[in-house]
Structure 1
């Protein structure tokens, strides 16, 4: 056919917009990239992740940035709260302690020194002080007869004249106050985070190594081997954790090591059961049968195929077990089976504060709040990971 015989009316140019149908809208994502994309869509999960990162940074670097150590004692400044009322005495300022001691402070709330009593009279319920040539008297008889003005338990008198509170200020020297030995509560809470998180992460690491390996071998071998291995797990799980810790403390010194060993010897059993169930469902899949046909060894099938395909539930379970380990360590320390003084975990801080709960409730509030925030953060992250790593929810 020659060019002159072509009928141009029967031909039309192709619309190039058709080619847009073949354009890839977004690059292909791997399983983990897609999981991260879906995890970022959960606000609570991201809040939990950011909170965990902040807690870890504070635990590592917080005590280094403070001018006080976790064991440094200032007995003159014992049991001073984060906020307190100050009184103006001419150009000076003082704070009246709940134990009717007098502390000289700055107008902004910095603790300067304790004022020594010139006279203590428990019979008449008053303490007298020589304060830069002036006489200050703390009359705490109102704490007995309840007749103080506006419900006050004491009055502060300057040369016989009753002073009124000047202002309520924050404790600039110790942001979260001090404990019964004058130690900085903030530094001890941050240091306690090191102990509690160390125990939790070591228990999780043991969980990962022993629990995953044990459960994978049990599920893959099946039959008699599986029955024997699971009965061992049942036997370990029947002995209470408390008994493990007490027995270890009889053999070893009390402290952090028995708790770590006890948690490491018990916490992996639930992970082993989880991994066993995942392996039982995966080992009959076609890709495992193909690997067997090609002569791949059992060790490589478990390490290269089964465990990687079960990592979603494993990571979720590990994330959920970290707060459980923190709570267990805190409970053991709370009842006196934890680290020994002067070391402190959140549990020992809560236990020490319990004796003075009614007078100095802030000492119990902050370690308890730290435990709650950490457990909520890990639970939020665990819930988000459970949804993000579920392949049935991929879109």
Structure 2
């Protein structure tokens, strides 16, 4: 009764494009979103630098060199003749450097006369006198007149073998020894920013894992059970949500010492409540669908219905919420570290870096710019990617 069909008749019935699965279609639409892909590249770059950057920096996050403290990424070198260059530090001292910007360290001091305000150095056989008594001329008895807004070059004179040199014969170069400069203890800002990225990304990863395993299951069980169980579980969420985060951190520090583990424990205690509310709302709307009724009729257990049917159907909002919780957790860690409730010295966190740089923000602004830019780029990256995932995972926007 069956006859082979003529294949020539199937020409108009050929599929126009390859069939895509749901996740393949999500990836296709995500790639078309320029901002989402930009965010993905930013996150991948930061993660790569955090993992492998410190291996190639040449410094550790705690290595100190007080002789090279508070040196900016861009420096001005003064030519003292004979191919020798020095950096005039804001702390009224000289630092020897090469012509291309590599710092060699503090030169040999012959005499440090604090009474007459000069320092005598020996640099490659030359006697270099750094006279900063000019900076004291604007100071009068009983008053302190600030000269911060004047040119640094007006505050000193440099003599080489007794001859006054042209202190305006300078060249601007990039600091090749410390690409982002040094902090007040002579530590490499670039290396400390990279270590801060490790801590921040660790906190973000913990927040996402907590949301996935606690918030999703808690909200799924609450929404599916309903009634008294749902009421009790949601009241617990309300109680946790009503306690300020800062108070929880302080109470935990009374019990355990401050540090990264305290922040991780705090995030584990409170960061899942938003996810639980979201999943509960999704499950409440999904559990009345026909596929859930069919699963019940087949005798599927409640656990399998929640894990294998309800949660996978709410995966779109769950993924977006997880992605949005990561920058929130990173910013929370930076805030807690900034106010002194985060990681302790000498560990480096973006919040602690900003806190350490706050005292010298006018003299050394680069120290606070570096962690601030890192935090901002991370926030932008995760927010862009989260917005793109929200659009890509929405089935109503499928084309």
TM-score, length of structure 1 as denominator length: 0.92
Query: Which deviates the most, 115-124 or 297-306?
Result: 115-124
Q: Judge conservation of contact 1:102–1:116 (CA < 8 Å) in 2.
A: no
Structure 1 position 118, deviation (Å): 2.9
Residue 76 of structure 2 aligns to a residue whose secondary structure is strand
Structure 2 residue 52 is the aligned partner of structure 1 residue 24? no
Superposed CA offset, 1:76-126 (max 9, x none): 111111111111222211111111111111111111120243333445443
Match of 2:157 in 1: 155
Query: Which deviates the most, 257-266 or 145-154?
Result: 145-154
Match of 1:111 in 2: 103
Distance across 2 between alignment mates of 1:75 and 1:151: 23
Q: Judge conservation of contact 2:183–2:367 (CA < 8 Å) in 1.
A: yes
List aligned pairs for 1:84-163, cutoff 5 A. 84-89=75-80, 90-144=82-136, 145=138, 152-158=154-160, 159-163=162-166
Distance across 1 between alignment mates of 2:185 and 2:335: 23
Segments of structure 1 that go 5 or more residues without pairing to the other structure are 1-13
Residue correspondences, number = 381
Residue 103 of structure 1 aligns to a residue whose secondary structure is strand
Q: Judge conservation of contact 1:80–1:178 (CA < 8 Å) in 2.
A: yes
Q: Judge conservation of contact 1:85–1:165 (CA < 8 Å) in 2.
A: no
Distance across 2 between alignment mates of 1:41 and 1:201: 26
Distance across 2 between alignment mates of 1:138 and 1:358: 24
Superposed CA offset, 1:320-350 (max 9, x none): 1100000000000000001111111110111
List aligned pairs for 1:302-317, cutoff 5 A. 302-317=306-321
Match of 2:143 in 1: none
Match of 1:284 in 2: 288
Residue number among 45, 50, 53 corresponding to 1:54 in the alignment? 45
Structure 1 position 23, deviation (Å): 1.1
Q: Judge conservation of contact 2:65–2:185 (CA < 8 Å) in 1.
A: yes
Residue 28 of structure 2 aligns to a residue whose secondary structure is helix
Structure 1 position 254, deviation (Å): 1.2
Match of 2:65 in 1: 74
Residue number among 18, 32, 35 corresponding to 1:41 in the alignment? 32
Superposed CA offset, 1:144-186 (max 9, x none): 5369889743333322313233311111111111111111111
Superposed CA offset, 1:204-244 (max 9, x none): 11111100000000000011111111011000000001011
Query: Which deviates the most, 263-272 or 134-143?
Result: 134-143
Q: Judge conservation of contact 1:71–1:342 (CA < 8 Å) in 2.
A: yes
Distance across 1 between alignment mates of 2:153 and 2:178: 28
Structure 1 position 301, deviation (Å): 0.3
RMSD (Å) for aligned C-alpha atoms: 1.9
Query: Which deviates the most, 18-27 or 224-233?
Result: 18-27
Distance across 1 between alignment mates of 2:134 and 2:11: 86
Match of 1:10 in 2: none
Residue 119 of structure 1 aligns to a residue whose secondary structure is strand
TM-score, length of structure 2 as denominator length: 0.91
Distance across 2 between alignment mates of 1:342 and 1:256: 12
Structure 1 position 273, deviation (Å): 0.2
Residue 178 of structure 1 aligns to a residue whose secondary structure is coil
